[in-house]
Amino acid sequence: MNTHRQYKYYDFVMAAFVAVLICSNFIGAAKQAVVTLPLFGTVTFSAGVLFFPISYIFGDILTEVYGYGRDRRAVWAGFSTLAFASLMAWVVVSLPAADSDFMREYQGHLQGVFGNAWRIAGGSMIAFWCGSFANSYVMAKMKIRSQGRFLWMRTIGSTLIGELVDSGLFYLIAFYGIWATGDVIKVAMAQYVLKTGWEIVMTPVTYRIVAFLKKTEHEDYYDTHTNFTPFSVKL
Return the domain boundaries, the chain: 10-217
pLDDT in tens, 160-203: 999 999 999 998 998 888 888 888 888 888 889 888 998 899 99
Q: What is the C-alpha separation between 57 and 114, in angstroms, rounded? A: 26
**Mean pLDDT in each 10-residue stretch from start to end of the chain (235 residues)?**
81 95 78 75 76 92 97 96 90 91 89 76 92 97 96 95 94 86 85 88 95 97 96 90
Residues comprising the chain, all counted = 235
Average pLDDT across the chain, whole number: 89
pTM (predicted TM-score)? 0.90
H or E element, residue 75: helix 68-94
Q: What is the pLDDT of residue 224?
A: 95
10-217 maps to CATH 1.10.260? no
Please report, as a single letter, which amino acid is at residue 212: F
Q: What is the pLDDT of residue 41?
A: 77
Residue 42 three-state SS: strand
Q: What is the C-alpha separation between 77 and 117, in angstroms, rounded? A: 23
